[in-house]
Amino acid sequence: MAAELLRFPDRTSATGKEIDAYLRKEVELSDEGVHQLFSRNRWEKAAEMRELLLGGTTLVVDRYAHSGVAFSAAKDVPGMDVEWCRAPDAGLPAPDALFLLQISPEAAATRGGFGEERYETSDFQKAVAEQFLSLRDDTWRVVEAARPIEAVHAEISELALAEVGRCQAGGVPLRDLW
């Protein structure tokens, strides 16, 4: 089975470098502007993702447009409601399965490096978690992440492999967001 791992933001491209500097608090950008930048960072990969998917490669994607909506909407900026936040990602390839790794902000804060980047405060993480739960529909699987990595891996790989099997059996068209 061919599979590739992608991660968003992809911090290697020009947009990704700007996002990286923003997350590391080296530059300031408007909330609206950085939201668009995160989306552009995904659109840069859209054609490549589509080609890989249509060729039968499974994509494992660490964060995607749903993070874009949840993090930006959690800022509670006037005008940046969920509908506004979704708009720039409309038309990107949609995932066949989505796993939300759930962890309390308290448990997350004990993990290595927490607090270094923008967004890594317990209050903001709570607001983001609420957004994720309100965006969730019944195609999402919520996975308890405050467990040893092997247990999280076992649960996700079982669910993911079942989904891959369903897609490989055919009849699952490539859909677009949203």
Binding status of residue 38 toward ligand FDM by CB under 6 A: yes
Q: Under rule CB under 6 A, how many of the chain's residues touch ligand FDM? A: 9
Residue selected from 8, 59, 92, 131 as contacting ligand FDM according to rule CB under 6 A = 8
Q: Would you call 23 exposed, middle or buried from its count of C-beta atoms within 10 A (0-12, 13-18, 19+)? A: middle
Binding status of residue 22 toward ligand FDM by CB under 6 A: no
Among residues 135, 145, 138, which one has the least CA distance to residue 74? 135
Within 72-131, the residues that bind ligand FDM by CB under 6 A are 119
Name the residue nearer to ligand FDM (CB basis): 63 or 126: 63
Among residues 103, 87, 96, which one has the least CA distance to residue 160? 96
Binding status of residue 23 toward ligand FDM by CB under 6 A: yes
Q: What's the rounded Cα separation, in Å, for the pair 26 and 58?
A: 35
Q: Which two tokens stand for residue 127?
A: 């607001």
- The residues of the shown chain that bind ligand FDM, judged by CB under 6 A, are 8-9, 23, 38, 63, 67-68, 71, 119
